Structure 1
Amino acid sequence: MAGFLGQIIHNYVTRVINGVTGVKNVFFSGGVVLVIGLVSIWVSIFLYVAFYYAYMPAVLHVRPVHLQFKPCEEEKGICSFPSAHIQLTKKQQLLMIGQPYKMYLYLEMPESPANQKLGMFMVCAHLEDKGGTLVNNACRAAMLHYRSHLLHTFYTLIFLPFMVFGSSEEKQTVIIELFSGFEEDPGHPITDIYVEVQSRHVEIYSSELRVTAHLTGLRHLMFHWPTFSASIGVISILFFLAVLLALSWCHQSLRSDFIGGGMQSGKAYSQDKDWTSGEDDDTEDDEEEKSEKKPVPNFSGEIDETATDEENNVDEPQVPSDKALFNEGVIETLK
């Protein structure tokens, strides 16, 4: 009875231990999978961010334009074209190679009678590298947007309170596109831009230069739809990481199976070889025993090839020795 109870307790304890071991294995496997998943997600995010900053250029570069001119000595006004020198960069390259850019000049001009009577005027720009070599130049025409006297009167009456308190002014921002689709030359990266307004009667509040990257294709998608492109990018990197991990696991499994199968096949081959060599030894022993068998003549005078020496024990004629011949001779003499 005690042995039976002991066996039941032993089986119960064994089942509990096996269950605990199984739970530990499940938690361990789940923890490993969770850690690998989290690491893969962080690696995917890091790779996408690194790719974004390496692939995407700076979309906008803004530089102030400080116009200078030569004033007249005898009469009021300016006696030279307003011009400015804009330094984009000193040492490092500012624009990305192979990326098209657009350059705009923003002129903030008052709606003064002088500007309204000015009409069209020319704006020219020259691009130079660090050594002073001319890389590109362009000239564009510009003018204030036309407004009739009636429209100007209505606009002034509507925005009169804002103009009184200074939140609005009678001015226009004229946008001039100097370069469209400009690409940086790797041998002559631009560092300086020279701008000139070819009119001595123009009136300008302020101006600035904007260099905008003209994004197309994947860069356009990544810039204008960042959340969607980031999701697609991270999921794609996760997919490739999962494929690499699966291939690595399959390779490791096949390698271990191949090594284990090779060891087992080697043992089986050695055992088969020993068994085969034993058969060969037995065969050689049988052949030696057969070779020891000699044909013995039977009573009929024929040779029995199948009989052994023990079965066909036939006395062979013996030749008498010299001592036996001497003894026979002495006996005969005595007779």
Structure 2
Amino acid sequence: MIISNLIQRIHEKWFNVQKKTTEGVQSAKDAVFRGGLIIICAILIIWISIFLYTAFYYAYMPNMTYVRPVHLQFESCDQEKGVCSYPSGYVQLTKKQQLLMVGQPYRVNLQLEMPESPANKELGMFMVCAQLRSRDGVLVEHACRSAMLHYRSSLLHMLTTFTFSPMMIFGTTEEKQNIVLELFGSFEEDQSHPVTIIYVEIQSRHIEFYSASIMINAHLSGLRYLMFHWPLLSAIVGISTNLFFIVLICILSYIHFASEEENFDETFSYEKGEVNEEKNKTLSDDSNSDVPSVEHISLQEEMSEGESSLHVTDPILGKSSFIEDITDKVQIN
């Protein structure tokens, strides 16, 4: 008896230990699963925030600089040496329908690389005109600007030449100036006639230059200025904002669906309870209709007793009773 009790206790303890171990392993699995799910959701939300900010950055921010070379052409003189027409040229910005962003101000500059030659020094001031045209040739904007070489005295020119003479000998430095001329200070693209062609004309036949190029720079302001000049801070703020709103939407969605599920469970349990009550009520009505009432039972008992009393014989004489005799006579008559 003692041994069986001891074995039973050991078995119960072993069963409890096994049950607790199973519950602990299951709870650990659930915790690992929930933790992994939370980590995966957090990583996914962070990547979505980064993707949204990156997509917004490339959609909202314009390209800062466009550079196109200008191949100026002129007509040569037949009778004498030199240029007989103004140097001019067309610049195709893009082969697509549109290059610049609508609503964004741009600065359009012409960069001339001119030697410090006696002809350019004697030239003095000259005019540069530019036209902005659409693909179908519509004139969108027109402007003319004046320019000249920067003045340097003979003494300054001599000192500069003496200082940079070793580099000039090896060809790393030249006696030239880069003239940057602003043609359009704040040009905004027209959606109906996007600019794809720029026409440039230098109104001087005696100018000398090495090369010319058109530079289009975006003039940023407001949020675009902050996003371009402080990209790291803007990225942190933008990603954090996206992360906040995504987490808020997820929390509100979870609360909404959880409340809907609770309401559905409550409605289902309430309807189930009503159905059970109706079933119980119908069963009770059926049982009440099948079971006879107390008055009906007592009436049946009285009638059965009366009938039995009619047929009861006299226990002493062994003859029929007086009531039976009367009934027999009535039947004979």
Normalising by structure 1, we get a TM-score of: 0.81
Matched position secondary structure for 1:78: coil
Distance of 2:24 and 2:133 partners within structure 1: 78
Matched position secondary structure for 1:249: helix
Which is worse superposed, 125-134 or 149-158? 149-158
Give the counterpart letter for 1:107 in structure 2.
L
Give the counterpart letter for 2:176 in structure 1.
K
Deviation, structure 1 residue 73: 2.5
2:254 is matched with 249
1:223 to 225, 228, 241: 228
Deviation, structure 1 residue 271: 4.9
Deviation, structure 1 residue 281: 9.6
1:40 is matched with 45
- What are the Cα deviations for residues 159-215 of structure 1, in whole angstroms up to 9, with x where unaligned? 121111111111111101111211111111122111001111211111100111111
For residues 200-219 of structure 1, what are the structure 2 equivalents within 5 Å?
200-219=205-224
The answer as to 2:2 corresponding to 1:23 is no
For residues 272-291 of structure 1, what are the structure 2 equivalents within 5 Å?
none
1:101 is matched with 106
1:295 is matched with none
Which is worse superposed, 275-284 or 151-160? 275-284
Deviation, structure 1 residue 74: 2.6
Question: Any unmatched runs of 5+ in structure 1?
Answer: 293-309, 311-319, 328-335
2:137 is matched with 132
Matched position secondary structure for 2:28: helix
2:97 is matched with 92
Distance of 2:60 and 2:132 partners within structure 1: 25
Whether the 8 Å contact between 2:129 and 2:144 is mirrored in structure 1 is yes
2:73 is matched with 68
2:265 is matched with 260
Deviation, structure 1 residue 284: 11
- What are the Cα deviations for residues 260-289 of structure 1, in whole angstroms up to 9, with x where unaligned? 12222233444555677899999999xx97
1:194 to 184, 199, 202: 199
1:331 is matched with none
1:154 is matched with 159
Deviation, structure 1 residue 133: 1.6
Distance of 1:132 and 1:291 partners within structure 2: 113
Distance change >3 Å, CA 326–CA 162, structure 1 → 2: same
Give the counterpart letter for 2:203 in structure 1.
Q
1:117 is matched with 122
Distance of 2:107 and 2:54 partners within structure 1: 26
1:2 is matched with 7
2:64 is matched with 59
1:314 is matched with none
Distance of 1:158 and 1:94 partners within structure 2: 44
Distance change >3 Å, CA 9–CA 150, structure 1 → 2: same
Distance of 1:165 and 1:32 partners within structure 2: 67
Matched position secondary structure for 1:137: strand
Distance of 2:39 and 2:120 partners within structure 1: 69
Deviation, structure 1 residue 153: 2.0
Deviation, structure 1 residue 232: 1.7
Moved over 6 A (4+): 274-285, 288-292
Distance change >3 Å, CA 290–CA 9, structure 1 → 2: closer
Question: Any unmatched runs of 5+ in structure 2?
Answer: 1-5, 297-301, 303-325
Whether the 8 Å contact between 2:115 and 2:210 is mirrored in structure 1 is yes
Give the counterpart letter for 1:95 in structure 2.
L
Distance of 1:56 and 1:291 partners within structure 2: 97
Pairwise CA RMSD: 3.2
Deviation, structure 1 residue 84: 1.0
Q: Sequence identity, in percent? A: 49
Give the counterpart letter for 2:212 in structure 1.
S
Distance of 2:244 and 2:274 partners within structure 1: 44
Normalising by structure 2, we get a TM-score of: 0.82
Question: How many residues are treated as equivalent by the alignment?
Answer: 310
